[in-house]
Amino acid sequence: MKRSSDAREAVLGSVRSALAGGQRGSADSIPREYRGQRHVEALPELFRERVAEYRAAVHTTDSTEAPETVLGVLERADARRVVVPEGLPAQWSDPVAEHHDTLGDRPRLSTTTLENADAVLTTCTVGIATTGTIVLDHGPGQGRRALTLLPDTHVCLVAASRIVDDVPAALAELDPAGPMTFISGPSATSDIELERVEGVHGPRDLHVVIVGDV
């Protein structure tokens, strides 16, 4: 309680000083001893639980069964045209190409083509267990941001080894100068009368496939 009160007084003191035209302190004086990654016994299990809480579908598999899992997801989604970003590993992209019409993004796909695609298959850079979030930095296997916004179904392969505990741990894995997309569940909004509507700003269906031995 005392620490909270002290922090409040420190913040209010800074505000009063700024309003009075006081001199700003050096940025180096700001405490930055953020908590590091906590020890969590089973990050993939926590990640799976939190992703599901956001109404995303979660699948757990290994590298051998991953292609079959992805094909099953796409079949149940009735996805005929699937966007496959450049750089997606061949062991995952080739089986999809054998059973579906795949769309590459070189040359760039038009907005209309992306809107008419049924699904997109990507990897991600990191998954955050505490928040159930996948993070894309749009490198190989992830494509540019529009590829994961316009198709109605997003299937994302997440290597279990790329799951970290919390946001600070995830940021440590990312390039702060590059683009990042944080995705927690399917696109949804409750802007109108607090009624949840999915698919307004992005895919209505998000499938996260956790691959255990990659």
Does the model's pTM come out above 0.85?
A: no
% of residues, the chain, pLDDT over 70: 94
Provide the 10 A C-beta neighbour count for residue 27: 7
Q: What is the dihedral sign for C-alpha 20, 22, 25, 27?
A: positive
pLDDT in tens, 30-70: 776 766 666 667 899 999 999 999 999 999 999 999 999 99
Which of 161, 140, 157 lies closest to 213, judged by CA? 161
pLDDT at position 80: 96
| Paired residues of 182 in beta bridges | 135
160 pLDDT higher than 60: yes
Which of 11, 8, 47, 5 lies closest to 165, judged by CA? 47
pLDDT in tens, 162-199: 999 999 999 999 998 999 999 999 888 877 777 877 77
- Which runs of E-coded beta strand occur in the chain? 57-61, 81-83, 101-103, 119-123, 126-128, 133-136, 153-159, 163-164, 181-183, 188-189, 197-198, 205-211
Compute the average pLDDT of residues 61-83: 97
Which of 126, 120, 118, 121 lies closest to 183, judged by CA? 126
Domains parsed from the chain with CATH numbers = 40-212 (3.40.50.10420)
